[in-house]
Amino acid sequence: MNAERLLDRFLQYVAIDTTANDANDGYPSSEGQWELGRLLVGQLTEIGLDDVHQDEHGLVWATIAPTTDKDAPVVAFNAHLDTSPETSGAGVKPQVIRGYKGGDIKLPGDPGQVIRVADNPELDDLLDATLVTTDGTTLLGGDDKAGLAIIVEAAAYLVNHPEIVHGPIRVLFTCDEEIGRGVNHVDLDKLGAAVCYTLDGDAADKIDVETFSADLATVTVRGVNIHPSIAKGRMVNAVRAAAEFVSRLPKDQLSPETTEDRQGFIHPYHLDGGVGQVVLKLILRDFETAVLTKQADLLRETANEVEREFPGVAISVDVMPQYRNPADGLVKEPRAAAYAQRAHERLGRTAQLTSIRGGTDGSLLTEKGLPTPNLSTGQHNPHSPLEWVCLEQMVGAVDVLVQLVQVWAQGPDVAG
């Protein structure tokens, strides 16, 4: 496995701004995703994959030909091109720390940004590792450019080692996963896979088999704007009503700041507007899909209460499904997680089956009928200026993919 080449690929990818833009209805929502997709097409073609192309939606497709005549299931690997709009992904200045010696990591671009061991205790297990951070002014893009680099390096390794027995492998890179549109244009018949794995998980040796179910709520608060000099009895301030609406949402039980494990939440994350109108966006999350309906009902009840207290204000609540917990779908194809565990065992490692407080393209693919667990990529602190990745964990993820395709080719009797 060529760790330096893997690192070089990753550094190339994070240099391209692929921030998703949910204000743009186009797909992909940012030009950088087209640019990164073109780069990947060139690299996959140079490696020697088949059917490499970027389609009219910016999706990147490729095939690794089988090395066996056995009728092995088609396995797909997926990662996404975009990065989160929550933190800037423009002008990323990656810092490569070789032979990490322990302790907090101060980021040079912003003295206030420090990756602290107290908040990242996993650092204690990564002494002498190679870490990559930002300078503290942007996110890094490990979510999910670590996944992209891992898949490309695994493809290169498999092509260069035709003695490794595996069935057909499909590569699919999607766009706009961070804004819930990742699989909008994925043709599952074209993909033709029996199972898929997203490379979009954190740390190492985890197999995510359960995620939140998720909805997006848009709350529009309409008031009446007029010059404040003649506002008495005529102005209806949407800003004040919106502030009251947010203040009434439960803080102790239903906010991400105060919940953990399997507790869901309602998270107001974006506000825009003025006296005449305010638009508030909130994400609704819970492992039990039915709870999302209760959360939406709570928003509507709160809206009604605020309307009564602010005569003249009109509040609408619109809820859009985003993704669903893949646990039910994965139960129907138990080999998806079991074979991933077997791949780790063949490397002398033990993989945890985990639940994550988020979602992936795998949530939507599983909902559409393609079982898709999520695998670790060595990324940490996603969506943040404190984001970092571990190169050794990325190399370990490449090793897992190489073993995983062999397990699928050999079938249920394969030895651990």
Counting every residue written for the chain, the total comes to 416
Terminal-residue alpha carbon distance, the chain: 22
- Asked if residues 363 and 326 have their Cβ atoms less than 8 Å apart, the reply is yes
Burial class (CB in 10 A: 0-12, 13-18, 19+), 50: exposed
CA–CA dist 152, 327 (Å, integer): 28
Decide if 177 is catalytic. yes
β-bridge mates for residue 217, sequence order: 282, 319
Q: Which one of the listed residues 17, 82, 286, 367 is annotated catalytic?
A: 82
Q: How far apart are CA 237 and CA 231, in angstroms?
A: 10
Q: Is 298 exposed, middle or buried (0-12, 13-18, 19+ CB in 10 A)?
A: middle
Distance in angstroms (rounded) separating the CA atoms of residues 281 and 392: 38
Identify the sign of the CA torsion 123, 129, 135, 137. Answer: negative
Catalytic hit among 17, 144, 153, 177 = 177
Q: Which residues are known catalytic residues?
A: 82, 177
